[in-house]
């Protein structure tokens, strides 16, 4: 009998957090599983956001290769926003490869699977899909899911009203996802079965500091999410066959947020950027004098002549001069307490050494990597450079995790794209 592959994805769950929870006895089933598995930390990709990282998992490629550079991108020729989704993926996915091998595939809630593509099995879209009815293959599954009360994501707007209401909603969405997992598990023959849990990432964005500070208002409910996931892991261990391969993983780490840092505000204060309107709505409101602008997270693009709609920075010497000035100034940037916020500024060719010909048009000219706890926002306008909002956790590019049981991992230091690449040869 052929080996099957069961994948459980916990978005944004840090390796170090799981180790703490294991030591505290919060996750006994996971603990048992780690004793029979390879369990280690893993790097994310640049930038370490869910759409880029899961696209890297599914394609085995880095973001410059698969083409998903974040939640939002820009068309330099028009300076219009582009919202990258599955139709922008430039590389074959695991699901396409397995389908071509006549394997039955089930994927639920995996980011960047919207709009759905045909495969040998079932695809239920995830993050950035807005309408479940249009988000599934085959199409009729969407109506069924809607009728069952299935949702792609919790309502993060609730968090602005009341964090407890938001938590209730988060657990509700998680329960429905787990219920739907077992519904299809029982009903469908499968060779690969992947469920992605977004609720961990959502929990961390709003509650990570409360966990780290043992805040009595939310600490137990934070742990309850992981208690519930541990029960799910126990059920998975009970219900999968002993010879099935199990892969658990996350796509990036998390840490308590120190500050949101509004890079376009910084570019304006340092005369690299100006807008033709007091309340700019898009990059089309950039003045022709602008030298640079930024997109989330920490991506800086120069306003290059011949590339951007009204570009002014000449390619060659001026381009390098502007990049060098930005690098030198950013390295000196400090928060209100006097702490440095920039860990490193990478030039495009340093961040993506293997990038091909399209790189100059599509990739950021600089990537600003934060010290732990800073989040480089891409809002065009913000009243202050440093801010603290309702978000109290932020991503890290390291400290994701992988657990492999019954399958071997590539040797050495692991990143999510290399892990994905190794899975292309799961079935021989």
| Interface residue list for Zn ion (CB under 5 A) | 201
* Least CB distance to Zn ion at residue 205 (A): 6
Q: What is the number of other CB atoms lying within 10 angstroms of the CB of residue 372? A: 14
* Least CB distance to Zn ion at residue 75 (A): 25
Give whichever of 73 and 201 is closer to Zn ion, judged by the CB atom: 201
* Least CB distance to Zn ion at residue 200 (A): 9
Give whichever of 201 and 244 is closer to Zn ion, judged by the CB atom: 201
The conformational region for residue 238 under phi > 0 = left, psi -120 to 50 = alpha, else beta, is alpha
* Least CB distance to Zn ion at residue 175 (A): 21
* Least CB distance to Zn ion at residue 47 (A): 11
Q: What single DSSP character describes residue 132?
A: G
**Rounded to whole angstroms, how far apart are CA atoms 129 and 113?**
8
Give whichever of 10 and 21 is closer to Zn ion, judged by the CB atom: 10
Give whichever of 119 and 416 is closer to Zn ion, judged by the CB atom: 416
Closest residue to Zn ion, judged by C-beta, is 201
Q: Looking up tokens 């910084």, which residue turns up?
A: 266
Give whichever of 43 and 201 is closer to Zn ion, judged by the CB atom: 201
**Rounded to whole angstroms, how far apart are CA atoms 10 and 110?**
10
CB proximity list for 391: less than 8 A, separation 6 or greater: 205, 206, 257, 260, 375
Are residues 72 and 82 in contact, defined by beta-carbon separation less than 8 angstroms? yes
Give whichever of 201 and 308 is closer to Zn ion, judged by the CB atom: 201
- Residue 140: name the closest of 116, 163, 160 by CA: 116
Element (H, E) at 165: helix 163-187
Are residues 373 and 258 in contact, defined by beta-carbon separation less than 8 angstroms? yes
**What one-character-per-residue DSSP string does 325-336 give?**
HHHHHHHT-B-T
**Rounded to whole angstroms, how far apart are CA atoms 86 and 64?**
15
Give whichever of 17 and 404 is closer to Zn ion, judged by the CB atom: 17
* Least CB distance to Zn ion at residue 395 (A): 6
Peptide bond before residue 280 is cis, with ω within 30 degrees of 0 = no
Element (H, E) at 301: strand 299-302
Give whichever of 153 and 191 is closer to Zn ion, judged by the CB atom: 153
Give whichever of 67 and 70 is closer to Zn ion, judged by the CB atom: 70
Give whichever of 153 and 201 is closer to Zn ion, judged by the CB atom: 201
* Least CB distance to Zn ion at residue 50 (A): 6
**Rounded to whole angstroms, how far apart are CA atoms 170 and 158?**
10
Structure tokens at 51: 């759409």
* Least CB distance to Zn ion at residue 201 (A): 4
Instruction: Name the β-bridge partners of 394.
Output: 255
Are residues 326 and 300 in contact, defined by beta-carbon separation less than 8 angstroms? yes
As a residue count, the chain comes to 428
* Least CB distance to Zn ion at residue 380 (A): 21
Cite the DSSP H helix spans in 213-271.
219-239, 263-269
Give whichever of 64 and 375 is closer to Zn ion, judged by the CB atom: 375
Distance of CA 264 to CAs 49, 248, 281, 313, 382, Å?
19, 37, 13, 18, 8
**Rounded to whole angstroms, how far apart are CA atoms 294 and 274?**
12
Q: What single DSSP character describes residue 91?
A: S
* Least CB distance to Zn ion at residue 375 (A): 10
* Least CB distance to Zn ion at residue 12 (A): 5
């Amino acid at each position: 009998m052929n080996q099957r592959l069961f994948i459980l994805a916990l978005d944004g769950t840090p390796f170090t957090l799981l180790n703490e929870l294991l030591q505290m006895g919060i996750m006994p089933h996971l603990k048992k599983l780690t004793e029979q598995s390879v369990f280690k930390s893993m790097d994310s990709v640049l930038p370490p956001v869910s759409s880029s990282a899961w696209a890297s998992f599914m394609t085995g490629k880095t973001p410059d290769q698969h083409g998903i550079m974040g939640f939002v991108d820009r068309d330099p020729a028009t300076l219009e926003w582009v919202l990258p989704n599955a139709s922008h993926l430039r590389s074959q996915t695991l699901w396409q490869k397995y389908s071509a091998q006549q394997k039955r595939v089930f994927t639920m809630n995996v980011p960047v699977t919207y709009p759905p593509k045909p495969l040998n099995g079932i695809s239920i879209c995830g993050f950035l899909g807005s309408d479940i009815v249009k988000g599934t293959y085959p199409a009729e599954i969407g109506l069924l899911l809607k009728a069952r009360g299935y949702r792609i994501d919790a309502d993060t707007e609730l968090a602005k009203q009341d964090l407890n209401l938001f938590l209730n909603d988060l657990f509700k969405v998680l329960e429905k996802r787990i219920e739907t997992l077992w519904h299809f598990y029982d009903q469908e023959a499968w060779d690969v079965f992947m469920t992605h849990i977004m609720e961990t990432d959502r929990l961390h964005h709003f509650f990570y500091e409360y966990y780290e500070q043992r805040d009595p208002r939310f600490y137990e409910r934070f742990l309850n999410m992981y208690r519930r996931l541990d029960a799910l892991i126990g059920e998975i261990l009970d219900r999968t066959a002993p010879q099935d391969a199990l892969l658990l993983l996350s796509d990036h780490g998390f840490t308590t947020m120190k500050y949101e840092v509004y890079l376009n505000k910084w570019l304006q204060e340092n005369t690299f950027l100006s807008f033709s309107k007091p309340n700019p709505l898009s990059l089309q409101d950039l003045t022709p004098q602008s030298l640079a602008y930024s997109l989330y997270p920490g991506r800086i693009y120069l306003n290059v002549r011949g590339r951007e709609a009204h570009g002014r920075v000449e390619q060659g010497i001026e381009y390098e001069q502007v990049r060098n000035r930005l690098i030198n100034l950013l390295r000196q940037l400090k928060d209100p307490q006097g702490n440095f916020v920039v860990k490193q500024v990478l030039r495009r060719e340093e961040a993506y050494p293997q990038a091909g010909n399209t790189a100059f048009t599509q990739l950021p000219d600089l990537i600003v990597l934060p010290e732990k706890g800073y989040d480089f926002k891409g809002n065009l306008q913000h009243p202050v450079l440093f801010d603290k909002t309702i978000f109290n956790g932020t991503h890290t590019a390291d400290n994701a995790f992988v657990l492999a049981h019954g399958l071997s991992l590539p040797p050495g230091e692991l990143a999510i794209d290399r892990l994905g690449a190794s899975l292309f040869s799961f079935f021989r």
